[in-house]
Amino acid sequence: MRTEKIYLVGFMAAGKSSLARELAERLKWQVEDIDDLIEAREHMTVSEIFSQRGESYFRRIERAVLTEILPLTHTVIATGGGTFVDPGNQVAINSNGASIWVDVPLAQIISRLSPDKQRPLASNRTQLEQLYTLRQSAYAQANLRLDGAGAPVGELVDRVVDWLGS
């Protein structure tokens, strides 16, 4: 697969940010994290944006940030857990680079989430499970499904590099 940009999509705590950093280093590309860009732009954490301005405001900013980074090349981008769920974002991502779904089982996601309320959509276990199930069909629209269950980041990087070389 030839591409000049990789978008990592998937549920919160799937390891997209860690994978993006290591993959970018291996490819000698730059790395961007949409949530980090939003926090820098808004001078607030994602959690603060959700609690003070609401999810719809956050999603508008997320779309704007995605639009701003579309021209970048040789970049690995870690998206937020909900970025790829938006149909417009999904079209933009899939037409602008390679999308890779970092698929991690819900039990592993839950074990990675800390109880510190840093993830606004993870505060209620039942709602978290419903959200996970709901988002699976959107993530399945990615160009590649990367099974991240229990795999170390280095192994995932190897798999992506192999896929890019094929």
Catalogue the long-range contacts made by 90-96 (C-beta closer than 8 Å, 24 or more residues apart): 90/138, 90/141, 92/66, 92/67, 93/7, 93/9, 93/66, 94/141, 94/142, 94/143, 96/5, 96/7, 96/70
Give the start-to-end residue ranges of the domains of the chain: 5-154
Q: Which CATH architecture has domain 5-154?
A: 3-Layer(aba) Sandwich (3.40)
Computed over every residue of the chain, the mean pLDDT equals 93
Token pair of 15, please? Answer: 């390891």
Residues in the chain, pLDDT under 50: none
